[in-house]
Amino acid sequence: MAFEYAPAPESRSIVDIASSYGLFINGTFTDPRSGGSRKTVNPATEEVLAEVAEAGESDVDDAVRAARQAYDTVWGPMRGADRAKYLFRIARIIQERSRELAVLESIDNGKPIKESRDVDLPLVAAHFFYYAGWADKLSHAGFGSDPKPLGVAGQVIPWNFPLLMLAWKIAPALAAGNTVVLKPAETTPLTALAFASICQQADLPPGVVNIVTGGGATGAALVAHPDVDKVAFTGSTDVGRAIARTVAGTRKRLTLELGGKAANIVFDDAPVDQAVEGIVNGIFFNQGHVCCAGSRLLVQESIVDELLDRLKRRMATLRVGDPLDKNTDIGAINSAAQLEKIRALSAAGEQEGAQRWSPPCELPARGFWFAPTLFTGVSQAHRIAREEIFGPVLSVLTFRTPAEAVEKANNTPYGLSAGIWTEKGSRILAIADKLRAGVVWANTFNKFDPTSPFGGYKESGYGREGGRHGLEAYLAH
Ligand code: NDP
């Protein structure tokens, strides 16, 4: 007999959302000169949460000037040990306000509270703590005896991990002595604006962090600004290409963290129940809105039936619904546009002849939702095996030999991550060595740590974030 879960909603009263927000420039919230604004909505209910300012070119220019001034007069000359104190302070405030930030993230993004609370927020704080520790040790980071900051960093981030991507970008930049202008994604600006208030709370000198909200045009203006020394971008490969074109031929440094189509490879000697958990975590974590998601499952042919049986049973237990419910496994799709993209690619999967399966699952009437979905009978030529769906959709392929697994895993324009499931350590090492992916997980998936570098090959971009390596992008050496 199956027992129903009672609702276990997290209270949203801890979060105070204003009806409108300005831009955070030079330590204060200001109205945009252009006067433009955009609405941000709760993707689980379609309720409008707030009007958020849209920065035009002149606003971006103000933000870059503020960042330059702060770099020249305060942050650049400051001793690393003093910069570290600010970063430690920010990290502690994030911990203190973590429940509020987690609820806000789930409301604006649609991700389940158990993920924003137990994954995003602890990692955000850990990132600031980690890079705070480097701020006074840069001469020991392996980039020469006296590495210097670059200056002003222009940073553009996506909507899938709004606050975590902010932390990945801002923490190493500040630790290395740069100042920043950051543009959050238009559908998820609220936690970046809450972070602006944390900068105020931490008495961070004005201009060290500036947040310019807006859409793609705001991002493009920031990237093109002549006084930006370094551009850091996470998002789609198409926009990454456009940014690389803008930056080409200038003195700006560039790092790109782009898309992925990771292979999660399960060998016949793998612990099947653990592999099933890893597969589920690999593709259904964060609604599959994960650049390193294990979206291509490669299963050794001899175990495919048993594995799919168990996987389907496990998928039938996933709870889709209210992101603020502590029992929810899969929340809302971040936007109507993203839902449309997931629907279109899934329809293409059926048209091209793959078999589609989802467990019985009741979706809420309002908001943007997509049931966890599995495609079998997928060939390497199918669009669902090649293109990033960025949703809770898994494509299953099979292989017979390790060599075939490697061949298929690498048969993608991307190269961000991969997973290997086997009980043999020697096989893990042999296969990992042959995979063209920046991160390879063994008998686990989607594990992140601030000490560990993350980044891609091929169309997944270049540069590394996290760890000692993550400092390199922000230092002249
Ligand atoms: P984008 O790459 O468009 O968005 C990422 C960020 O770049 C956002 O802040 C966006 O602004 C900004 N941006 C958009 N156009 C420009 C530009 N010309 N110059 C500078 N910045 C720009 O991703 P989407 O949100 O459109 O998602 C589309 C697809 O991209 C997804 O379906 C998914 O496949 C992939 N994606 C991959 C991510 C990853 O981590 N690898 C993350 C997000 C998406 P704004 O959102 O405000 O328009």
pLDDT digits (tens, 9 = 90+) for 154-172: 999 999 999 999 999 999 9
Contact 454 CB / ligand 1 (< 6 Å) = no
pLDDT of residue 1: 59
pLDDT of residue 35: 77
Which of left, alpha, beta for 2 (phi over 0: left; psi -120 to 50: alpha)? beta
Q: In which residue ranges of the chain is pLDDT below 50? A: none
Instruction: Write down the mean pLDDT value for the chain.
Output: 97
Alpha carbons 453 and 463: distance in angstroms, whole number: 9
Contact 188 CB / ligand 1 (< 6 Å) = no
Does the active-site annotation cover 361? no
User: Residues 257, 388, 459, 465: which is the catalytic one?
Assistant: 257
User: Residues 291, 292, 465, 472: which is the catalytic one?
Assistant: 291
How many whole angstroms from 74 Cα to the centroid of ligand 1? 32
Contact 160 CB / ligand 1 (< 6 Å) = yes
0.75 cut: is pTM over it? Answer: yes
Q: Phi and psi at residue 50, in whole multiples of 5°?
A: -165, 160
Q: Please choose, from the candidates 381, 352, 364, the residue with its C-alpha nearest in 3D space to the C-alpha of residue 328.
A: 364
Contact 216 CB / ligand 1 (< 6 Å) = yes
Q: Which of 228, 236, 243, 290 to mutate to test the pocket of ligand 1 (most atoms within 8 A of CB)?
A: 236
Please give, one letter per residue, the 3-state secondary structure of 260-306.
CCCEEEECCCCCHHHHHHHHHHHHHHHHHCCCCCCCEEEEEHHHHHH
- Residue of minimum CA distance from atom 35 in ligand 1: 236
Confirm if 287 and 330 have CB atoms less than 8 A apart.
Answer: yes
Does the active-site annotation cover 199? no
DSSP 258: -
pLDDT of residue 412: 96
Contact 408 CB / ligand 1 (< 6 Å) = no
